[in-house]
């Protein structure tokens, strides 16, 4: 039987640096857990623009459609700020999400005990936090038409359109309900039904899917702005949150800071099942390309490594091995190792990107 296939798109900025540590982890699983992958690499974002004049080539897009999963680092940087909007690095990321139809973006917000004091909230508020935000990823205001900037009279007008169909809402709601069944069996749906017609439809469709297929799951509704407030007041009240593209982007970044750093948060973007039964999938850290620390060994690789753990769990049915990797990360943090983004105490010296990766490999070795 052929090994499962992975396409690595390291991207820009710190993307190649954190992805190098993921490669160490992948190699360790192949050498020590009889879990080998066929790994290939390609370009996306600014790196692809430099090589091909586009943020994602047709050839790379085709490869992404063929593999079992895609691992992505980060895209963007100031060198590309003056490009036409259609050529900006971020357009490559939006294209791959859209063409692979990766409609369900899973963003866990988990606070490791060792980092509870590093959060901006009180330790008792965030200690043991484990929330999953399911963000609709391929529709909504980021993709709706009409869009653009045009002239009306003597001034410019910027237009973006919030648009959702019933089927788009229903399928991401199902993803959230299925996920909740494997967790604490609770879903909170967030929108702005008080002021947006798309929010009214969102609430209606989520309610209909729940009544018809998932009545065993506890469902609640909350306006997205109230949800943001509640996430900072008492985040442990939530299990699974399902929301649209824009609100999911905002709420998941807010939840990221509850855990102490964007450098800690992975994500999975899942689509419809392929012929082998696995969902089309792309895994990436929530953080950006951080060009200000590129090449300095300061980047935190944990979010990217935990993204690979999500790939083990959701694409390759290797939940036990995913847990092994997550526990290795937790053990390293418990030992007090911190990259620069996690330094809060005076006098503590940070470890480098590669040192953090090596420490996680050492903990993996102890787990065998």
Distance, in Å, from the CA atom of 302 to the CA atom of 21, rounded to the nearest integer, reads 9
68 catalytic residue (yes or no):
no
Quick check: is 192 catalytic?
yes
* 49 is a catalytic site residue: no
Catalytic residue among 101, 225, 236, 358: 225
Residue in the structure block whose two tokens are 């899942």: 270
CA atoms within 13 A on the CB side of 107: 31
Q: Which two tokens stand for residue 201?
A: 């439809």
- Whole-angstrom distance, CA of residue 136 vs CA of residue 175: 10
38 is catalytic: no
Residue owning tokens 């909170």: 188
Please pick, among 42, 68, 239, 249, the residue that the annotation labels catalytic.
249
User: What six digits make up the tokens of 199?
Assistant: 């929010």
Contact by Cβ (8 Å): 126, 258: yes
249 given a catalytic annotation: yes
* Catalytic entry in 49, 80, 103, 142: 142
**Residue ranges of E strands in the chain:** 5-11, 38-42, 69-74, 104-110, 130-136, 144-152, 155-161, 186-191, 218-223, 240-243, 266-273, 279-285
Q: Which of 12, 42, 49, 192 is catalytic?
A: 192
Contact 231, 254 (CB under 8 A): yes
Which residue of the set 101, 184, 253, 358 is catalytic?
A: 253
Output the 3-class SS for 17-75. Answer: HHHHHHHHHHHHHHHHCCCCCEEEEECCCHHHHHHHCCCCCHHHHHHHHHCCEEEEEEC
Can you read off the two tokens belonging to residue 304?
A: 């990217």
Catalytic site positions: 142, 192, 225, 249, 253
């Amino acid at each position: 039987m052929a090994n499962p296939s992975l396409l690595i798109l390291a991207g820009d900025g710190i993307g190649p640096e954190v992805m190098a540590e993921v490669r160490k982890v992948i190699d360790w699983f192949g050498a020590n857990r009889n879990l080998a992958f066929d790994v290939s690499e390609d370009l996306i974002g600014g790196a692809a623009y430099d090589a091909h004049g586009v943020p994602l080539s047709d050839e790379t897009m085709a490869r992404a459609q063929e593999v079992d999963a895609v691992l992505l680092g980060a895209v963007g940087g100031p060198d590309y700020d003056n490009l036409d909007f259609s050529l900006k690095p971020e357009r490559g990321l939006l294209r791959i999400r859209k063409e692979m139809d990766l409609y369900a973006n899973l963003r866990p917000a988990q606070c490791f005990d060792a980092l509870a004091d590093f959060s901006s909230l009180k330790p008792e508020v965030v200690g043991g936090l484990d929330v999953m935000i399911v963000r609709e990823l391929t529709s909504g205001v980021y993709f709706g038409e009409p869009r653009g900037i045009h002239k009306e009279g003597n001034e410019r007008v910027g237009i973006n359109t919030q648009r959702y169909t019933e089927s788009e809402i229903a399928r991401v709601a199902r993803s959230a309900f299925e996920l909740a069944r494997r967790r604490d069996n609770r879903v909170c749906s967030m929108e702005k039904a008080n002021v947006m017609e798309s929010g009214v439809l969102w609430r209606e469709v989520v309610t209909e899917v729940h009544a018809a297929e998932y009545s065993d799951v506890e469902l609640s509704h909350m306006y997205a702005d109230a949800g943001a407030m509640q996430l900072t007041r008492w985040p442990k009240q939530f299990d699974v949150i399902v929301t649209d593209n824009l609100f999911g982007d905002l709420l998941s970044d807010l939840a990221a800071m509850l855990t102490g750093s964007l450098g800690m948060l992975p994500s999975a973007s899942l689509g419809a099942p392929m012929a082998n039964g696995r969902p089309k999938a792309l895994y990436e850290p929530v953080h950006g390309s951080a060009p200000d620390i590129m090449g300095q060994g300061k980047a935190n690789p944990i979010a990217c490594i935990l993204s690979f753990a999500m790939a083990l769990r959701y694409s390759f049915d290797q939940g036990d091995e995913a847990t092994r990797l997550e526990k290795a990360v937790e053990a390293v943090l418990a030992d007090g190792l911190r990259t620069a983004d996690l330094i809060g105490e005076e006098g503590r010296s940070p470890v480098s990107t590669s040192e953090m990766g090596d420490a996680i490999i050492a903990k993996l070795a102890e787990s065998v």
